[in-house]
A and B are shown apart, each in its own frame.
Chain A
Amino acid sequence: MSTVFGQVVKRREDPRFITGRGQYTDDVQLPGMLYAAILRSPHAHARIIGIDVEAAKRAPGVVAVYTGRDLAERMGSVPTAWIPPESDLKTPPHRALAVDKVRYVGDGVAMVIADTRYAARDALDLISVQYEVLPAVVNQVEAMENGAPVLHAEAPDNVAFHWQIGNATDEVFAQAEVVVRHTIRQQRLVPNPMEPRASVAQYNPATGELTVWVTSQNPHIHRFVLSGILGIPEHRLRVVATDVGGGFGAKIAVYPDEALVAFAAMDLGRPVKWTEDRREHFLVTTHGRDHVEELELAGTRDGRIQAIRVRAYANMGAYLSTAAPGVPTILFGLIVPGPYTIPYVGVDVYGVFTNTTPTDAYRGAGRPEATYLLERMVDLYAREIRMDPVEVRRRNLIPADEFPYHTPTGLEYDSGNYHLALSRALDMADYDGFRRKQQELRAQGRHVGVGVTTYVEICGLGPSQVAGAVGFQGGLWESSTVRVHPTGKVTVFTGSSPHGQGEETTFAQIVADKLGVLVEDVEVVHGDTARISMGWGTYGSRTTPVAGSALAVALDRVLEKARRIAAHMLEVSAEDVECEDGRFYAKGAKSRSVSFQDVALQAHLAWNLPQGVEPSLEAQAFYDPANFTYSFGTHICMVEVDTDTGDVRIDRYIAVDDCGRVINPMIAEGQVHGGIVQGIGQALWEGAVYDEQGQLVTGTLMDYAMPKARFFPNFETAFTETPSPHNPLGVKGIGETGTIAATPTVVNAVLDALAPFGVREIQMPLTPERVWRSIQEGGQRS
Chain B
Amino acid sequence: MIPQAFAYRRANSVAEAIAILQEDSGAKLLAGGHSLLPLMKMRLANPGTLVDISGVKELRGIQRVGDEIVIGALTTHADVAKHPLIRTHLPALAEAAARIGDLQVRNRGTIGGNLAHADPSSDLPAVALAYDARLTVMGPAGRDVLAAEDFFLGPMVTALPDGQVISSVAVPVPASNTRSAYVKCPHPASGYAVVGVAATVTVAADGTVEHARIGVTGAADCAYRAYQVEEALVGQTASLEIIRQAAQYAAEDGSIGSDVYASEEYRRHLCCVYTERVLRKVLL
Contacts and interface: CB of A to CB of B under 8 A. Distances in A.
B102 to A, nearest CB: 9
A706 B189 contact: yes
A697 interface: yes
Interface string A705-746: 110100100000000000000000000000000000000000
A277 B1 contact: yes
Contact of A703 (B42, B190, B262, B270): B190
Contacts of B269: 772
A689 B260 contact: yes
A697 B4 contact: no
A645 interface: yes
A552 B4 CA distance: 55
Interface residues of B, number: 19
A698 B262 contact: no
B1 A279 contact: yes
Contact of A645 (B42, B185, B189): B185
Nearest to B269: A772
Interface in B64-80: none
B260 A703 contact: yes
A769 B187 CA distance: 12
A767 interface: yes
A117 B1 CA distance: 10
A772 B189 contact: no
Contacts of A432: none
Interface in A672-711: 685, 689, 697-698, 701-706, 708, 711
A121 interface: yes
B12 interface: no
A704 B187 CA distance: 10
Given A118-B2, A772-B266, A697 B189 contact: no
Contacts, number: 46
B5 A705 contact: no
A121 B2 contact: yes
A711 B186 CA distance: 12
B2 A769 contact: no
B282 interface: no
Contacts of A706: 189
A701 B41 CA distance: 14
Contacts of B190: 702-703
A653 to B, nearest CB: 18
B5 A122 contact: yes
Interface size class of A (residues with CB under 8 A): 20 to 34
Interface in B1-59: 1-2, 4-5, 42-43
Contacts of A121: 2
A773 interface: yes
A89 to B, nearest CB: 34
A701 B25 CA distance: 33
Contact of A705 (B188, B263, B273): B188
Contact of B270 (A125, A645, A689, A711): A645
A769 B263 contact: yes
A644 B273 contact: yes
Given A122-B5, A685-B188, A705-B188, A769 B273 contact: no
Among A117, A279, A706, A768, the most chain B Cβ lie within 10 Å of the Cβ of A768
Contacts of B273: 644-645
B266 A703 contact: no
A701 B191 CA distance: 11
B197 to A, nearest CB: 13
Given A118-B2, A689-B260, A767-B261, A773 B266 contact: yes
Given A703-B261, A705-B187, A769-B262, 18 more contacts: A118-B2, A118-B5, A121-B2, A122-B4, A125-B43, A279-B42, A644-B273, A645-B270, A645-B273, A697-B260, A701-B189, A703-B189, A703-B260, A704-B189, A705-B189, A708-B188, A711-B188, A772-B269
Interface of A: 117-118, 121-122, 125, 277-279, 644-645, 685, 689, 697-698, 701-706, 708, 711, 767-769, 772-773
Interface of B: 1-2, 4-5, 42-43, 185, 187-190, 260-263, 266, 269-270, 273
